[in-house]
Amino acid sequence: MGTMQLSEIWNKLLGHVIQFAPWAEDRLEEVRKRTWYLPSPETAQLNLLMVCLDLDLDDFRHRSKAKHLLEELFSSDVSQIDAKTPMFSGQIAKLPQKHVDRLLQSVKWAFEAPFEEFEQLPVDQAVILVRKSAPSLKGFRAHRWLNSLGYHVATPDLPRQRFLFRMGWLKEVSTAEAGKKAAFKEIQKLSVAVEAPLREIDYVLGLFAGAIEDSGTGVARCLAQPLCEECPIASECLFFRIQGSDKDRGSGALADTMRTEDLPKERIRKEGPEHLSSAELLSVLLRPGQSVPNTLQLAHRLLRHAGSLRRLSEMSFSGLSEIPGVGSANAAILMSTLELCRKFNEEDYFGVGQHFTKAEAVFTHFRSRFLGAKQEEIYVINLDSQLKVIRIVPVSKGLLLQAQVESREIFKEAIKDSAHSMIIVHNHPSGSPKPSKADRRITEHLYRAGEFLRIPIQDHIIIGEKEYYSFAEEGTLEPSEDFS
């Protein structure tokens, strides 16, 4: 295939990715500018831990939690990490001890890794050095870690190999070293032909083949069950030319090769759910219908219709049912699954019988509950003398003042529960937790009422989309003399 033809294919891929995932343009610009540098030991350690746990290196929440987890690894009993970092669902605590030892060895090595040598080594030798020194960086993780530090290396994983194979550029899809080297050489050839940095090629192919999480945008096309009818380069694809469209695709050697072990359910069994894209995970839940027999196609249709997983979670039953191919059965499955996720988050972080220590725990508990809320909702958390939760009580919906929240409404359930103190919680649908004057007035009013009834208000917490405001933590819970 000539350079001009490769350039046309590349431009189509690039245009498709930017069209369906506009946020990727900023990421690509960052990738183009970034070159190999000598990373700080702390960055090398943190990235290694995140790669080993299959975390998103670009997610600031994941990075923040990973920093905390890194500290725990070196200062605490590993069995206690799950309780302190529930976000990772005990990924380290559940590992066998020998795997934990390998992880610790790898993280320690990263602190003193000879990065000056990497710059002088060919890619395959650098990968071999990393694997020998860091036993947790097996398989494609060594490539991903080096890539995260700016080293010019692509990740020849199975999704990217699958793309190359379908295009006719690779003889087979393989986890063997020879297969990885062959895939890497093809990615290098493409990089040279289209004059694009290797890491840019790697990122675009990763999104298009479903190897990189696409935030629910549905940008991936060359998946285990390919969406050929929606692929911008289908006319150049050997797989499509042999097998035809999604509707008329029959059996054949090439189709059989690509379908046997790459189905989402089979990949979950072999690799674990963390390796699947949002669309692939969604397809496992959905039931096929007459109009859309391919659940992966239906999953992509859902994500494109909603725009993101967050917006999908905000859709009503009727809204979901009306999407062609979804129907009432799939709508019920989706809403039940999303509600279970919300209940899981609430139960895991903060619930009845648990000790109240920080407003952050309340925020984590209520954040999923308020997701997609169109109006303000007010809750009271009744606490016993040891600040343990007795009950979480919904009080009213509507703007805080318009709902006419009177002291007796707030305190009657606390009196019924013989509560020693309480926490007031409400949300701001705007997403910003900054308190209004009305919020401050009602807080002053409730604080004074609590003092009178001897059921003090421990805190009033406003829940925003990504952060919260705690009157207690900000030192604004007690009324000031000049309050207006």
pLDDT tens for 82-127 read 444 444 445 566 667 777 788 888 888 888 888 777 767 777 788 8
Instruction: Please provide the distance, in angstroms rounded to a whole number, between the alpha carbons at the two ends of the chain.
Output: 74
pLDDT-derived band of residue 350, with 50, 70 and 90 as boundaries? low
What DSSP character marks residue 274?
G
Residue 85: what pLDDT? 45
Residue 164: what pLDDT? 93
Q: Which of the two residues, 314 and 450, has the higher pLDDT score?
A: 450
3-state class (DSSP) for residue 104: helix
Six-digit token pair at 72? Answer: 């725990």
Strands, E assignment, 127-189: none
Domain ranges of the chain: 37-148, 264-348, 350-470
CB of 280 closer than 8 Å to CB of 223: yes
Tell me how long the chain is. 484
Write down the pTM of the prediction: 0.50
Is the predicted pLDDT of residue 247 greater than 50, yes or no? no
Is the predicted pLDDT of residue 1 greater than 70, yes or no? no
Beta-carbon contacts of residue 424 (< 8 Å; ≥ 6 apart): 378, 379, 380, 410, 443, 446, 457, 459, 460, 461
d(C-alpha 23, C-alpha 25), whole Å: 5
Six-digit token pair at 155? Answer: 């990740």
CB of 131 closer than 8 Å to CB of 123: no
Q: Give the phi and the psi of residue 109 in degrees, each rounded to 5.
A: -60, -40
pLDDT tens for 451-468 read 888 999 999 999 988 889
CATH number 3.90.1150.10 given to 264-348: no
Q: Which of the two residues, 12 and 262, has the higher pLDDT score?
A: 12
Number of H helices, E strands in the chain: 23, 5
Residue 90: what pLDDT? 55
d(C-alpha 65, C-alpha 87), whole Å: 8
Beta-carbon contacts of residue 4 (< 8 Å; ≥ 6 apart): none
The residue type found at 473 is: E
Is the predicted pLDDT of residue 81 greater than 80, yes or no? no
Burial tier of 260 (Cβ tally within 10 Å: 0-12, 13-18, 19+): exposed
Six-digit token pair at 42? Answer: 């702390």
d(C-alpha 214, C-alpha 208), whole Å: 9
DSSP-assigned beta bridge partners for residue 378: 396, 426
pLDDT tens for 373-410 read 778 888 999 999 888 888 888 887 764 444 445 677 78
CATH number 3.40.140.10 given to 350-470: yes
Q: Give the phi and the psi of residue 456 in degrees, each rounded to 5.
A: -65, 150
Q: Which of the two residues, 232 and 29, has the higher pLDDT score?
A: 232
Residue of 376, 413, 421 whose CA lies nearest to 396: 376
pLDDT-derived band of residue 362, with 50, 70 and 90 as boundaries? confident
Residue 256: what pLDDT? 39
Sign of the Cα torsion 42, 48, 53, 55 reads: positive
Residue 336: what pLDDT? 92
Residue 190: what pLDDT? 92
3-state class (DSSP) for residue 214: coil
Is the predicted pLDDT of residue 248 greater than 90, yes or no? no
Q: Where are the alpha helices (DSSP H) in 1-112?
A: 3-20, 24-33, 41-52, 60-75, 81-84, 97-111
Residue 420: what pLDDT? 92
